[in-house]
Structure 1
Amino acid sequence: MKFSVLGSTEVVDGGAQLELGGVKQRAILGYLLLHANKVVPTSQILQAMWEGNPPPTARKMVQNAVSGIRRMLAANTDPTTTPLLRTHRPGYQLRVDVQAVDLFVFRSLVRDGRSAISEGAHALGAERLREALSLWRGRALADLVETGICWSELTALEDERLSALEDRLDAELACGRHREITPELEVLTATEPMRERLCLQFMLALYRSGRQADALRVYRRTREALIDGLGLEPGRGLQELQQRILEHDATIQVPALVG
């Protein structure tokens, strides 16, 4: 049995996608998967499901959803995985092999990629991070987000994704792939105009591609977005890069290709 949260909530058993029940049951399953192998207090589930204002029948609704999830897990036909939803005071614990949950596979690959980069193996690191990012099929728990759910865990997960993406782009730059990633960075910076690291990477990729004027335009656009959106000037890193581009600083030209 395989579980997916990096996109719409999905459970697959023997190649077949399972029916997950109503919105509350899907949401409780998704929430427990985000906290897999940890005890999640019932009070925390109630807070997540009803934003601190649960109806009188809320605990019964949680119990019914848990029963439905247990029936689904009992249908597992994969002998290599034994998912189990336990009642564990003060709440519930979803016991599952982390290799069966795409979120934890993603995190493992990200750790491998970052470890490779820290050892100077930038090409291998970029490959591992690309593999990790390929697991995403949209926003985490996208089907639940469409119903109005906006848990802090989902915001943190999106930041994890973007951080892994930025690490991958740094590795690509270190490998001299600035031209290849320029179109991707153009889209990313349009989507995340105030994410300074992406803007810095875009400026550097443009400059290394011989597009100094375009790189400086990206700086001006980012500065305007930060001032308008947050009332802040760009950070020191962006300001220094702008100055170095203006000075044609040779130390930010294409690096010697690294592994």
Structure 2
Amino acid sequence: MNKPVVGRHDQAASAVTGTQERPAPRHLFFRVLGPCEVESASGPVDLGPPQRRALLLCLLLEDERPMSVGRLVELLWGDRPPASAAASIHAHVCRLRAALTGPGVSGEPTVLLSTGRGYALRVPPQHRDTALFEQFLEQAHCLTQLGRPTAARTAVDRALALWRGEPFAELRGHPVAQQVTCCLDELRRTALDLRAGLLLAEGRPVQAMLAAEGLVADSPFRETSWVTLLKALCAAGRPTEALVRYETVRHLFAEALGTSPGPELQQVHMQLLRQTGNEVPMTAARFRSDGVR
């Protein structure tokens, strides 16, 4: 999985209710948006101790390309492996192979292969929760563009529900997973931003405001979240508070980054100034007409 974005799906704009949340029951389904889990038709697969799970994730990250025993030893033990490291790799692989071809996956081809260049894990993208997460997120974007905020929020809620914790948790802090986890985290923030904007588009400014408050607290330099927060405050009848919050973010950017807010945030600020100067209530519909980012 060198590319953290697994890929776009041709049916991304299809109805959300017609999308399966997992492959056919006989297939293995790999969950990495949290601690590693594998599900079969008969239930969860026993993957064994943490080191075995880490080995499985290393193979999964390679997107079906073989990994040599030497490379696996390096990833799991660093530059000071024990003398039994290679034997441990072979033992872990044998036990994983047995677990992944158990009674709950009868008829399933072997997914953990031995090749002349090492071991490879054959798992199609559609059997991974990362691909399902991206599919739902893309559906949400497409439905947003079609002007269907409620259906879009349903899709983004399904995407976010797949997250159970830190992605690739067993490889926490390991360089081999750093790029993919950073990209997945960014996609999750994008999904949360989209959800807050969709709440506003649905005419639910208070819920949008609460969602955006959490986002700016977590990522104070993310302008998209600030835009939604200011719009939601004004749509909720609190334009003066929105102006105060704009000054907060303006000072934050100036002191921490030496920059000014971007064009979209400045545009919202100008709308707020016109609104408070004219003393005409800004309605939720007015802000919804600006679109959802």
TM-score, normalising length from structure 2?
0.72
Q: Which amino acid aligns with 1:86?
A: L
User: Highest Rg: 1 or 2?
Assistant: 2
Partner of 2:65 in structure 1?
Answer: 39
CA contact (8 A) 2:34 2:169 kept: yes
Distance change in 2, residues 1:255/1:40 (3 Å): same
CA contact (8 A) 2:231 2:287 kept: no
Pair 1:178-2:211 in alignment: no
Greater mean alpha carbon deviation, residues 166-175 or residues 183-192: 166-175
Q: Which amino acid aligns with 1:132?
A: A
Alignment of 1:60-75 (within 5 A): 62-75=89-102
Deviation at 1:47, TM superposition (A): 6.8
Partner of 1:255 in structure 2?
Answer: 288
Pair 1:106-2:139 in alignment: no
Q: Which amino acid aligns with 1:164?
A: A
Q: Which amino acid aligns with 2:242?
A: A
Q: Which amino acid aligns with 2:190?
A: S
Deviation at 1:124, TM superposition (A): 1.4
Deviation at 1:27, TM superposition (A): 1.4
Instruction: Quote the RMSD (CA, aligned, Å).
Output: 3.3
Alignment of 1:235-254 (within 5 A): 235-248=262-275, 253-254=286-287
How far apart in 2 are the matches of 1:234 and 1:44?
46
Residue among 174, 180, 184 paired with 1:149: 174
Pair 1:13-2:46 in alignment: no
Deviation at 1:65, TM superposition (A): 3.5
CA contact (8 A) 1:9 1:143 kept: yes
Partner of 2:111 in structure 1?
Answer: 84
CA contact (8 A) 2:193 2:212 kept: no
Partner of 2:142 in structure 1?
Answer: 115
How far apart in 2 are the matches of 1:213 and 1:257?
20
CA contact (8 A) 2:196 2:211 kept: no
Partner of 2:5 in structure 1?
Answer: none
Residue among 209, 212, 219 paired with 2:246: 219
Q: What stretches of structure 1 of length at least 5 have no aligned partner?
A: none
Distance change in 2, residues 1:143/1:241 (3 Å): same
Distance change in 2, residues 1:54/1:248 (3 Å): farther
Q: How many residues align?
A: 254
Q: What stretches of structure 2 of length at least 5 have no aligned partner?
A: 1-27, 277-281
What secondary structure, in the 3-state scheme, does the structure 1 residue paired with 2:260 have?
A: coil
How far apart in 2 are the matches of 1:50 and 1:195?
37
